[in-house]
A and B are shown apart, each in its own frame.
Chain A
Amino acid sequence: MNTDTATELAVDCRGIEKSFGEGETRVQVLRGTDFDARLGQMTFLVGPSGCGKTTLISVIGAILSCEAGEVHVLGSDLRRMKKGALADFRLANFGFIFQEYNLLPALTAAENASIPLVARGESNRDAERSAEELLGKLGLEGHTAKMPAQLSGGQQQRVAIARALIHEPRLLICDEPTASLDAASGHNVMELLRDVALAAERAVLVVTHDHRIFEFADRIHHMSDGVIESTDEHPNEEQDG
């Protein structure tokens, strides 16, 4: 959407290091990784399995802490925040779309989508009303009272998108959003994300293996072995050209 390099940074990470295990089993996953994502853009993080993508978005998403480096997200230094404050920060600013959707099977589509609002203290009734409206915009009117098991994979992903957007977060983190979908459904989901989620005051970060959806990226970071190897600043222009 916006390829202006002067656009405000939503994510600015410098020299991140993260390892798992101890002693001989210690594995260094992030090796001084630098990464940034801009507001108003859809930034892709791509790379082979095991290169550290999930660890990096977990650090950016305030779910994992890193051992060294700087992590600035939406102007806040995450490394200075305590655990409780990080949870509040996530709830206020982040929307997550998981590969496996992770919808609560006992809740209806509207109830699932309303969770972030309920967690922020809104009444169930108001939250569900907002969720029904948003689900309607996502093409799920008539399905809001259905349980996840009654919905197709694409519909479940739309409910997950609604849950990620209902509280109007400034950073949307999508982990392999099309991995469980066929090509057409995956394309539809990405179009939906571009149309509904992307906004001037919001950044969308997508981790993916799926090259079929690269056309939706404003920037693509290529990751390998714990570092960002290269960045395509104008991938679509290059493709077009």
Chain B
Amino acid sequence: MIRVALRMLIGDPTKCLGLVIGVAFSTLLICQQMSIFFGLLGRASSVVNDVREANVWVMDPAVKTIDVSYPLRDTELPRVRGVEGVEWAVPFYKAQVQVRTRQGTLENAVILGIDDASLVGVPDEFVLGGIEDLAMPDAIAVNPAGFRLLFPGQELDLGRTLELNDRRAKIVAIVDAAPAFAANLTIYTRYSLATQYTNNGRNQLRFVLAKSRDGVAAEEVTRRITEQTGLKALTSAQFRWESIHYILANTGIPISFGTVVLLGAIIGVAVVGLTFHQFITENLRQYAALKAIGVRNLRLLRMTLTHAGFVGVLGYGIGLGAAALFFSTVPKKSDALRGFYLLPEVAVGVGVLAAGIVTLSTLISMRRVLSVDPATVFRG
């Protein structure tokens, strides 16, 4: 009877298409929005992720996210270095600056100052140039999206100069940094240059990056630093989650994306539910005839579930395919979406949601199939 069920569904191409499109649209919308949402959360901690060498971050106790930092006294650095269990500690500077582009517009940029001596804090991957180039005078490295923002339509290359706070800055490397939350342009430079490029007052130090000694847990080191310096110290993982939590708790992003996801689900249930209900209603007499012939309710239930399964699998597959196509093409062409991709967890989660949408829609109509009186077929 599975084949009969499928033929009944496909035999009504308008409704079959409506059902499949309903599920596909919901899947695409929810997949796309959830992936962008998680991508944004990833950006909230991208700077933390890109600092691979250090496993401890030290900051002012008021800091709740990488994007909002407070100055520390320069004397805090040697204090952190003096804590038992700290192998090394280096300064790390982070601030936002505005850069004038060739078109005359101002663009926000995140400037990251790394230790002059060790150059700790730069991502491993370079598109052009290398980490050692940052030792050159006025040297800065920018991310590819930032380069394209500054020099639209031009190939990535080195040697171009910018003006930051009336000071010359020369691009010596293109670094493959993950896009930051606050700006598409990320600038890496030496700590000493970064403080000059921003000129943010007497106390310039924002973070201290540290590495725990072998055999000493990073959590233990953070506890000791807090105890001995009064500063806030977090492991990289803790700081990553705290930055994400800050976005979740202090911005409208979760509500905004949550609303779209909820609407996607509601529209899915409404479209699929109503179309399925109409399909069942129009075929109720056929179900009654099957019942009269002797097809049991359990069989009819299976037939209805076959309709639902077919629509669900096909709709989900199309929606997921469209979402995958979106994330495999659009982010490559748009720096604003760079780093966003379809997470497998999102695909699985939306699959469960799509199954829920279809199941709920089916349940609404299934009752009519099970309760239809087979005697109706005798009534002309």
Contact = CB atoms under 8 A, between A and B. Distances in A.
Same assembly:
yes
Interface of A: 54, 57-58, 61, 63-64, 84, 87-92, 94, 96, 98-100, 102, 104-107, 111, 115-116, 118-119, 124, 163, 175-176, 179
A204 B375 CA distance: 19
Interface string B1-38: 10110011111100000000000000000000000000
Nearest to A100: B380
Contacts of A92: 294
A163 B293 CA distance: 9
B282 to A, nearest CB: 10
A63 B377 CA distance: 10
B77 interface: no
Interface stretch (B283-291, B333-341, B352-360): B283-291
A25 B290 CA distance: 30
Nearest to B289: A102
A100 B1 CA distance: 22
Contacts of A102: 285-286, 288-289, 377
Secondary structure call for the B interface: helix
Nearest to A105: B11
A158 to B, nearest CB: 17
Given A105-B11, A106-B10, A119-B1, A91 B295 contact: yes
Given A87-B296, A94-B294, A118-B1, A99 B380 contact: yes
B296 A106 contact: no
B322 interface: no
A202 to B, nearest CB: 17
B293 A90 contact: yes
A105 B286 CA distance: 9
Contact of A119 (B7, B9, B294): B294
A122 B293 CA distance: 15
B378 A98 contact: yes
A98 B299 contact: no
A124 B380 contact: no
